[in-house]
Amino acid sequence: MSQIKGPAIFLAQFMGDEAPFNSLPNITAWAKSLGYIGVQLPSWDSRIMDLRKAAESKTYCDELKGQTNGLTITELASHLQGQLVASHPAFDELFDVFAAPEVRGNPKVRSEWAIEQLKLVIKASANLGLPVTPSFSGALLWPTIYPWPQRPPGLVEEGFKELAARWKPILDMADKYGVDFAYELHPGEDLYDGATFERFLEATGNHARVNINYDPSHFILQCLDYVGFIDVYGSRIKAFHVKDAEFRPSARAGVYGGYLDWKQRPGRFRSLGDGQVDFKQVFTRLTAVGYSSWAVLEWECCYKDAAQGAAEGAPFIASHLIDVPKKAFDDFAGAASDTARNRRIIGLS
């Protein structure tokens, strides 16, 4: 049996107002027909769930489970709410669309709303028996990512101090309910690579609920060692988005993309198998470090249609799941333990 569970699919990119994408029963029937056995739910989408009801009622959560056509709910994703915990003023208007209409245009109230939403996600996750929520961290420092103009001393430390202060009450509540936050390390967030994750972890006092949603596609676009990352941070990886990407720099543009659209920029998200991620190594290293939760397709591609990407995703993930061995491959050549024999072999009487 595989140590990693799957295949599962994140439903956010597929939700719509037309069947079969307009309700939990309909979209899970569609996902099941493609071979998926799990679904990650966008907690912000009212077409699929009432988050407040899920936080307040285990009965309602049991009813949700009964609407999934036998598929397992893997996690409640909370990316959009996490994004709004902290936002630099440069992005306030752009991010307003993620918030409820009544809190738009007021960053302080919007942040308070987002924090309350995350607390609902924690309670709903507990009611559903889910131990992790993939999320975003939000960002106060992102406009200063390039060190020009020169960052004044203490700016980065102050930014992470404030970010941690906003998250600490949420993380403490998550600890009370036994739920991990798995931050998707993503450009646009203050947590976008290993170094920034470590800064945040330290700023929260190494909080046990600060963890990682591993997504190699974002690391391809940053030219980061996405396989080595697993060995370094494996104990903190609590969720896994299976998403592909490619980075093909040219004489015109590189990592920063030149303000080009997704088809023209060097770094692009691709359907599984169409990009540059070495998924055989990714699944191998995740298995080696003991990751045992879900492999969840997050589909994004600038060339291929979503329906084709989803259909190809389930068998792709299934083909990469590793059945862990019940015995070592060289057991046939072994012998029973014998202390006296071992001492003779190394020259001891």
* Bond from prior residue into 7 cis (ω within 30 degrees of 0): yes
- Residue 325 confidence (pLDDT) above 90: no
pLDDT, mean of residues 219-241: 98
Give the pLDDT score at 151: 97
Residue 1, pLDDT score? 81
Average pLDDT of the residues in 154-164: 98
How does residue 186 score in pLDDT terms, banded at 50, 70 and 90?
very high
Q: How far is CA 320 from the centre of its chain?
A: 18
Tell me the domain boundaries of the chain. 5-345
> What share of the chain has pLDDT > 90, as a percent?
93
What is the rounded average pLDDT of the residues 22-49? 98
Q: What is the mean pLDDT of residues 16-42?
A: 98
Q: Which class in CATH covers the domain with range 5-345?
A: alpha beta
Going by C-alpha positions, the residue among 184, 194, 195 that lies closest to residue 300 is: 184
Report the pLDDT averaged over residues 186-191.
98
Predicted confidence band of residue 55 (pLDDT cuts 50, 70, 90): very high
In this predicted structure, the answer to whether residue 349 has a pLDDT above a threshold of 80 is no
Average per-residue pLDDT for the chain: 97
Token pair in block for residue 119: 């607390």
Question: Mind listing the pLDDT tens digit for each residue in 254-303?
Answer: 999 999 999 999 999 999 999 999 999 999 999 999 999 999 999 999 99
Report CA 47 to chain centroid distance, whole Å: 22
- Return the pLDDT at 327: 81
pLDDT score of 326: 82
Q: What is the pLDDT of residue 331?
A: 73
DSSP state of 289: T
Q: Give percent of the chain above pLDDT 70.
A: 100
Q: How far apart are CA 14 and CA 207, in angstroms?
A: 34
User: DSSP string spanning 180-206?
Assistant: EEEEE--BTBS--SHHHHHHHHHHTTS
113-153: pLDDT as tens digits: 999 999 999 999 999 999 999 999 999 999 999 999 999 99
Q: Output the pLDDT for position 328.
A: 75
Helix (H) or strand (E) holding 24: helix 24-33
Residue 189 CA to its chain's centroid (Å): 13
